[in-house]
Each structure stands twice: as structure tokens, then as C-alpha cells.
């Protein structure tokens, strides 16, 4: 069983009396220990998907169809008590702004130690932190041990004076240190899944890379899976095993990072990659992605990228494509390569009377079975 199986998921926000779809027909599976990058332009629904998986959608946001199976339990039908048990202990969350997770009136050490006490029941059964616990078990009371473990987590996140940092309040730390502390706190329950929503975007580029490296090292040690929301394709290619490309509320492509960068199949992904600066060749001309991303709430007849796609044919403007596993002849490194495009899944060839209509794996037709 996969750690996370998001199936046929729709999410909508309510504005006034209007229901505005934000995610449509999302299918995403994550294996234990995998780091998956969720990329896409602003407004494509990245944060909404992270929040939906963590069951932290704001009051006006709601899952309107589909399921989110976490280790076999459908979170969309879980009670608040069940969700509280999952969050923190089994699903950790880090946001762009660390103040969203840190309490301004408690020291960093108090917060992380409290979280460790809550999630570990003194830590006897945990893996990574057990080592630390053993070091401190001789003579230290439970509170002292959880404090020692908190200091250890701060050290693992690359904080130079972890004991001093533990005694400080969030406002006494720099932005980078605050975010390290927020990550240490999110990982202190040794969760199975970490949802990290642009965790370093607000920071200096060099600090970003260091923090992400520390985070990745720590989650690899803990075998924690990560859904890393980022608009930065370089970050995704460097740190992620798989990449999911979102466009206007839909998954357009999903494959290993190597496959996405060396063999992108969706015309949108191809243009998104071509529009990124090339660090190896700064003089290379950048492709410009003309036009705007349609609001995920807009109802469109065909492919949501058709209006901007230079390859679009009439069929693309009338028929919604589905996310399918691509036929083998189109993949290079990853047989699980999934793509949403009529020009790639064989539909366009079949409609033109040609052979090779090979939809190998398709989920619910778009628009069906909305709650
Ligand atoms: N609380 C909300 N109420 C109403 N609509 C919302 C709310 N949050 C997000 N949306 C809408 O949902 C859609 C997806 O937004 P979301 O923030 O998930 O995208 P994103 O890809 O994370 O964007 P960004 O990179 O700018 O953070 C957008 O159309 C946005 O306007």
C-alpha cells in the first residue's frame, strides 16, 4: 500500500454564494520515503493541494469529490479527533512563514519539547530520536529528556548554537533560524509525511539551499516522505525524486525528476521548462509563456492549456484530456510517467483515424461524480 493515495480529488472554495473550483480531478500517489515536488505557476492550486492533504483547508474551502487515503485511512471522512491524531505525529506541515507554526510567547525549546512529549510519549518507540533519548535517559526527568531531544533536533537542522537557540523566543532569531526551528518542530514527531509549502521562498538564495539540504538529509534519515510545494524548478530537480506539474487546478504531468527534465511530454511542462533561466548558459534565450493561466474556477470545454498551447488542435478546445500513463514508446526513464494531453495519449491520433489509441490508465472522466 502506498503511503498516500489521492484519488479523483476536487476542492472548491466558496466566495459569497458561489462555489469556485480550485482543484479538479487530482490523482497522486506517494510512496514511503519519497520526496515529491509540486510545481506550477501562481494560482495553479499547489497550496490548496497541500492544505487539503493535511486537512487544513480554510473555512471556505472544501473537498467536493474524491478521497485522500493516508496509510489506508481516508482523511476526507475522518473525524476531527482522528485528524488531530494524524497531524503532527504522522503528518507534519511547514509553511513559507514560520510564524504560522511557532508560538511567539514560548521559547523555541519549550515548543519543540512540548511537541516531542505529545508525539512520542517519552520517545521509547521512535527511531532517530531514540538514539538521543538513550544518551539522556540516565537520571534526566521526562521534561529534561524532551528538552535534550529538542536541542538535538535543532542541531540536526544546522543551528550553530542549538542550546542557546532553544532558550530564545521566535522573534529573537533571524528568518533562516526561525524557519529551521519551524522545520525541527514539524519533524519532531518523526512524521511519515511532511508537507512543506514553499518553506524557503522568503529567504536568501544561499540560505534556501542550505536549509533544504538539511531538511532532505533529516527526512531521508527518518524515511519521511515530503510533498515539497515550490515554484522553483531548480529546487524541484535538485531535491525531489518525483515531480508533479499543476496547471489551473489540474495535474498535467507526473514522473520522476529525471524524466520530467529530460523527457517532458506535456506541452505545458515543455514550455515551463523552456521559460526557466539556464544556470549553465545564462546567454540562452528564454521562451516566453504567452497569456495567463485560467483561473481554476473557470469552466472550460477542452484542455485548460489549449488557449496558450502552440500545438493545440480543434479537438483540444472541445475535449478535456485525462491524466493517463503514457505508452512506452513515449517514455525514457520512467514507465509510470503520467501526462494529461490529447496529443500524447493517442486520442488525437485516434480521432484523426490513425492507429495507436493507447490510454493505458485513466481515472474518472473529468466532470463526473462531483459531490
Ligand atoms: N481562501 C481562499 N478563498 C478563495 N479562493 C482561494 C482561497 N485560497 C486560494 N484560493 C484560490 O484557489 C486557487 C488556487 O490557489 P493556491 O493558493 O492553491 O495556488 P498556488 O499555486 O499555491 O499559488 P501561489 O504560488 O501564488 O501560492 C486560486 O484561484 C486562488 O485564488
pLDDT in tens, 304-316: 999 999 999 999 9
Structural domain boundaries in the chain: 101-191, 244-340
Q: How far is the CA of 97 from the centre of ligand 1 (A)?
A: 16
Q: Is the pLDDT of residue 134 over 60?
A: no
In percent, the amount of the chain with pLDDT more than 70 equals 86
User: Quick one: CA torsion of 113, 114, 117, 123, rounded to 10 degrees?
Assistant: -20
What is the ipTM, given to two decimal places?
0.98
Buried b / exposed e along 245-255 (16+ C-beta atoms within 10 A): bbbbbbbbbbb
pLDDT band of 356, cuts 50, 70, 90: very low
Q: So what's the pLDDT on residue 366?
A: 41
Q: Which residues of 203-232 are buried (b: 16+ CB within 10 A; e: fewer)?
A: beeebbbebbebbbebbeebebbbbbbbeb
CA-229 nearest atom, ligand 1: 22
| Element (DSSP H or E) covering residue 333 | none
When mean pLDDT is compared across 70-74, 92-96, 116-120, 247-251, the lowest value belongs to 116-120
Residue with CA closest to ligand 1 atom 2:
13
Give pLDDT, residue 292. 86
CA angle, 7 then 11 then 12, to 5°: 160
Longest dimension (CA), the chain: 78
CA-nearest residue, atom 11 of ligand 1: 22
Taking the centre of ligand 1 as the mean of its atom positions, its distance from the CA of residue 243, in whole angstroms, is 20
At residue 172, the pLDDT reads: 95
The residue among 101 and 339 whose pLDDT is bigger is 339
**Cα–Cα nearest to 307, from 264, 22, 41, 318:** 318
Which atom belonging to ligand 1 lies closest to the Cα atom of 44?
21
Question: What Cα–Cα distance (Å) separates residue 181 from each residue in 45, 105, 157, 160, 338?
Answer: 27, 15, 8, 12, 36
Question: What average pLDDT does range 50-60 have in this prediction?
Answer: 95
**CA atoms in the 13 A half-sphere facing the CB of 195:** 22
The residue that leads in pLDDT, 180 or 276, is 180
Question: Relative to the CA of 50, which ligand 1 atom is closest?
Answer: 18
Point out the ligand 1 atom lying closest to the alpha carbon of residue 197.
22
Top mutation candidate among 47, 52, 195, 244 for ligand 1, by most atoms within 8 Å of CB: 47
Q: What is the pLDDT of residue 281?
A: 63
Amino acid at each position: 500500500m502506498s503511503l498516500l493515495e489521492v484519488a479523483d480529488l476536487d476542492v472548491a472554495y466558496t466566495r459569497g454564494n458561489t462555489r469556485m473550483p480550485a482543484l479538479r480531478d487530482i490523482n497522486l500517489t506517494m510512496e514511503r520515503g519519497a520526496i515529491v515536488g509540486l510545481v506550477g505557476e501562481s494560482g495553479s492550486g499547489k497550496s490548496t493541494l497541500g492544505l487539503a492533504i493535511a486537512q487544513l483547508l480554510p473555512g471556505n474551502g472544501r473537498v467536493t469529490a474524491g478521497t485522500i487515503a493516508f496509510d489506508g485511512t481516508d482523511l476526507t471522512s475522518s473525524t476531527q479527533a482522528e485528524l488531530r491524531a494524524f497531524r503532527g505525529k504522522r503528518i507534519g506541515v511547514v509553511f513559507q512563514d514560520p510564524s504560522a507554526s511557532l508560538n511567539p510567547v514560548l521559547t523555541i525549546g519549550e515548543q519543540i519539547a512540548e511537541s516531542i512529549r505529545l508525539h512520542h510519549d517519552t520517545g521509547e518507540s521512535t527511531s532517530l530520536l531514540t538514539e538521543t533519548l538513550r544518551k539522556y535517559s540516565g537520571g534526566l526527568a521526562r521534561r529534561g529528556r524532551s528538552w535534550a531531544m529538542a536541542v538535538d533536533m535543532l542541531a540536526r537542522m544546522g543551528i550553530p548554537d542549538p542550546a542557546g537557540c532553544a532558550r530564545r523566543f521566535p522573534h529573537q532569531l533571524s528568518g533562516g533560524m526561525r524557519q529551521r526551528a519551524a522545520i525541527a518542530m514539524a519533524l519532531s514527531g518523526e512524521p511519515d509525511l511532511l508537507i512543506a509549502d514553499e518553506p524557503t521562498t522568503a529567504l536568501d538564495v544561499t540560505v534556501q539551499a542550505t536549509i533544504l539540504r538539511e531538511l532532505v538529509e533529516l527526512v531521508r534519515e527518518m524515511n519521511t516522505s515530503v510533498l515539497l510545494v515550490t515554484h522553483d524548478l531548480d529546487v524541484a530537480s535538485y531535491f525531489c525524486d518525483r515531480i508533479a506539474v499543476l496547471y489551473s487546478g489540474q495535474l498535467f504531468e507526473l514522473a520522476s525528476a529525471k524524466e520530467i527534465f529530460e523527457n517532458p511530454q506535456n506541452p505545458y511542462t515543455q514550455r515551463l521548462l523552456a521559460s526557466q533561466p539556464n544556470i549553465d548558459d545564462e546567454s540562452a534565450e528564454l521562451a516566453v509563456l504567452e497569456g495567463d493561466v485560467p483561473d481554476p474556477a473557470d469552466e472550460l470545454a477542452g484542455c485548460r492549456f489549449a488557449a496558450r498551447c502552440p500545438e493545440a488542435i480543434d479537438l483540444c478546445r472541445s475535449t478535456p484530456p485525462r491524466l493517463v500513463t503514457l505508452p512506452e514508446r513515449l517514455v525514457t526513464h520512467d514507465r509510470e510517467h503520467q501526462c494529461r494531453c490529447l496529443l500524447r495519449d493517442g486520442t488525437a491520433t485516434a480521432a484523426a483515424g490513425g492507429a495507436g489509441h493507447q490510454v493505458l490508465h485513466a481515472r474518472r472522466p473529468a466532470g463526473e461524480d462531483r459531490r
